[in-house]
Amino acid sequence: MAAIVDDPPSCGLCAGEADSTCRMLPCQHFYCTECILDHFRDQNRGEDCRRGRFVCPYCTRALPVNIEIPPVATEVNGDITGNEDEEKLNVADGSYCDICPQSKGLPTVCPHKQGLCQNKSLSSLQDQHPPSSLSSSSSSLSSASCHTHRLPIDKFCPDCAVCLCDGCWKGHGSPKTCPPPLPLSVAVTKRRTEARSLLDKAEASETNISFYKDEFHRQLESLNENMLTTSENIWFEVESLVSSLRTKARHLITEVELATETEKSQLEGKMAVCDGHLEEVQDLKCQLSTLMSQTGGHQLVNNYPSLESRWETLNKCIKDIKSHNQVCVTAEFDADYRQTREKIKTLTMGRVRLTSKTTPAPSDRPLQKAPKWRHETAVQCILDIGDDGFSNQDRSPECGPSSPSRKIPSLSDLIEWPLVKSTSYITGLTVSEDRHIFVSDCHKQKILEYSPEGCLLCHCQTPSPPYDICAISPARFMVVLPWQCELMLLERSTDSKPFEIDLIVSTGEKRYYSLCKVGSTILACDWCTNVDILTSQGRILASVLGSRDISYQGWVHRICPGLRPDVFCLLDWETQTVSTYDLRGTLLLSRPTPSAPALGPTNDICFDSSGRLFCCDVDGIYCINETGLISTLWSFEAKLSHYPRIALGPRHQYLFVSCKVGRKYKIRTFKIS
């Protein structure tokens, strides 16, 4: 145990403040060097010196000074101050500092805190009883004895921070008066309590610092991912705007071409008239030349009036040809477009918005027991389980509690392969009966077909950005083009021309973002979660869910086939709710997602034939079976940088997932067992 002196002590003889030249005797008392030497010189002349006793003027403790070797002053000077050529003082071993490692072998007065050692007040006590024995119990403290008075050291002066015995305490009040001493055990208990409190605070601070470091690292990674996603969204908006302008430009160019064709037909008609008039003029010239070449003039006289009349008529036609004005076909831009073009030059596309959320440190969080449904899951969709939504009512009676539908599936990573480097924004994924994978790239405006091994077989350029694709037959696919409010039908015809655009149908003002085939019925969902039934030619047949107006209008809502051929599921991304409907629009099941801020939102869903709902987000793949059990099937090695898409293969034996890590897309195939 070490006591720290707040104020430097004073000399016991002159009461002056101690400085770096002061020395401490083995009895722990301080004196100026000149004062103690003068005192010992005076003692050298008395009887104490003859008996070989030099005592401390404060506590009268005998000092081990050898006076047999003359001169005594030199011996006294050497014993107290040391030789001038040496760096050490010849003092007792107990006067050395036990705290400062650099002061081993040096006098007790070390350079800590204004030239005084922080451990000086208890150095002799620590020499007799090490710190381990001092801190073991109060009984060990009371058993320490003063080697001067041979009394137990059981008192502590709070002002001087000095441990004392009864004998030391009697003379301790001079030169200043101190308050009554405390029992040493009380002082030790108090310091031990304060040290324990300080240790707890240090441990809590260490935990908080480690937490904040990990949190900052996570925020750094999230910030990089957010930057990439935001950049992609900006480019997506630009491409959407450019696509709209290109469509308007194509319409205007078509009008220019039609106007040009009209003028061309008129000019070609004028040229045909000129050819007829030219033939008439040439014929008139031939007749006049023939009549003038004859010897007799009676025929010229008889025929000239008719030829002259013919010439006058022909001359009028020729004058009409000369008066025809030249037509120039140009495009006159509207005032709104010219104003928009001028605004674009100085347009600020947007501004950066920073949103922050404070995460409390572990020591600041209230202790709460996590709900049971959060254990072993990171999925955001919890369904109110019921037979109408999850189980097939047409199943055989043999299906009991041990039915495969109640078992938790497991995924095994079968194969993964990267998509072409130009792929930038996958928004739709579907699988054909022969396990060929079809993806829609919204940024590149392409539909791509891959083999099960990951070989790019073909691709098709779309007139506007596609969002989702659905196989309506083995050789026919339907694609939604929401930015143009259109549906496109693709057909796989021959190997030489695998993709062919069969039909493009306008949907009016409907912007569909998700497609699925439920039995023989084709369903489409728009950005307000309205669901319509479509024909195989893309025409709207009927409305299942209509007149729905939600606050979040976006392209992230998803629909998928249910377990039965007359049931489908709708994922409302805004509220994170999965609802089950029949084709008449009757709500069968619906339950909103419990709030779980630490977990990411669910991005896509699909049902298998056993009544299990597969969900995915940027962290992993999860499953909810008909009993309500939620299981984490797969956790991605790194958080995905964009929303994944999932699709079940034929006979629901394989699960295909589009994953984007950083800037690279890849398709992962999992086997369901």
Which CATH number belongs to the domain containing residue 424 in this structure?
2.120.10.30
Q: Are 380 and 271 part of one and the same domain? A: no
Q: Is residue 4 part of a domain?
A: no
Q: Specify the number of domains making up the chain.
A: 3
Q: Is residue 367 part of a domain?
A: no
Q: Are 446 and 543 part of one and the same domain? A: yes
Q: Are 79 and 42 part of one and the same domain? A: yes
pTM: 0.44
Q: Are 35 and 176 part of one and the same domain? A: yes
Q: Is residue 327 part of a domain?
A: no
- Between 493 and 323, the more confident residue is 493
Q: Are 119 and 214 part of one and the same domain? A: no
Q: Are 168 and 231 part of one and the same domain? A: no
Q: Is residue 541 part of a domain?
A: yes
Q: Are 48 and 131 part of one and the same domain? A: yes
Exposure pattern of 364-395 as b/e (b: 16+ CB <10 Å)? eeeeeeeeeeeeebbbbbbbebeeebbbbeee
Q: Are 533 and 544 in contact (CB under 8 A)?
A: yes
Q: The domain containing residue 131 runs over which residues?
A: 23-180
Q: Are 148 and 266 part of one and the same domain? A: no
Q: Give the C-alpha distances (Å, rounded to integers) separating 190 from 126, 155, 179, 185, 456.
A: 19, 14, 18, 9, 77
Per-residue pLDDT tens for 428-486? 999 988 889 999 998 888 998 888 888 888 888 899 999 999 999 888 999 999 988 99
Q: What is the predicted pLDDT for the residue at 550?
A: 56
Q: What is the predicted pLDDT for the residue at 668?
A: 92
Per-residue pLDDT tens for 617-671? 888 888 876 655 677 888 888 888 888 999 998 888 899 999 988 888 899 999 9
Q: Is residue 361 part of a domain?
A: no
Per-residue pLDDT tens for 20-42? 667 777 777 778 888 888 887 77
Q: Is the dihedral of CA 623, 624, 626, 628 positive or negative?
A: positive
Q: What is the predicted pLDDT for the residue at 44?
A: 64
Q: Are 237 and 381 part of one and the same domain? A: no
Q: Are 137 and 196 part of one and the same domain? A: no
Q: What is the predicted pLDDT for the residue at 395?
A: 41
Q: What is the predicted pLDDT for the residue at 467?
A: 92
Domain stop point among 306, 321, 336: 321
Q: Is residue 9 part of a domain?
A: no
Q: Is residue 334 part of a domain?
A: no
Domain stop point among 159, 180, 201: 180
Alpha-carbon gap, residue 97 to 149, rounded angstroms: 23
Domain stop point among 180, 210, 236: 180
Q: Are 109 and 206 part of one and the same domain? A: no
Q: Are 258 and 380 part of one and the same domain? A: no
Q: Where in 593-650 does DSSP place strands (E)?
A: 604-607, 613-616, 620-624, 630-635, 645-648
Q: Is residue 232 part of a domain?
A: yes
